[in-house]
Amino acid sequence: MRIKEKLKKCQTVFGTFVKINSPAVIEILNWAGFDFAVIDGEHSPFSPVDIENIIRTGMAASFDVIVRVSSPQEEHILHALDSGAAGVQLPGLTSIEEVKQAVDIAKYFPDGSRGLSFVHRAARYGFADKKSYMKTANEETLIAVHIENRNMVNQVEKVCDLPSVDVVFVGPVDLSQSFGKPGNTQDDAVRAAIEKIVKTCNLKHKAAGIYVASADELSYYRKMGFRYIVWSSDIGMFVKSVKEAAQLLSGK
Asked if residue 112 has pLDDT above 90, the reply is yes
Q: Are 183 and 173 in contact (CB under 8 A)?
A: yes
How high is the pLDDT of residue 30?
98
The 10s digit of each residue's pLDDT in 224-250 is: 999 999 999 999 999 999 999 999 999
Element of type H or E holding 230: strand 228-233
Sign of the dihedral through C-alpha 101, 85, 67, 52 = negative
Question: How far is it between the farthest Cα atoms of the chain?
Answer: 63
Q: Which residues contact 6 (CB under 8 A, 6 or more apart)?
A: 12, 13, 35
Note the pLDDT of residue 62.
95
Cβ atoms 100, 50 nearer than 8 A? no
Distance (Å, whole) CA 245 – CA 252 = 10
pLDDT tens, residue by residue, 14-52: 999 999 999 999 999 999 999 999 999 999 999 999 999
CATH match for 3-250 among 3.20.20.60, 2.60.40.10, 3.40.640.10, 3.60.21.10: 3.20.20.60
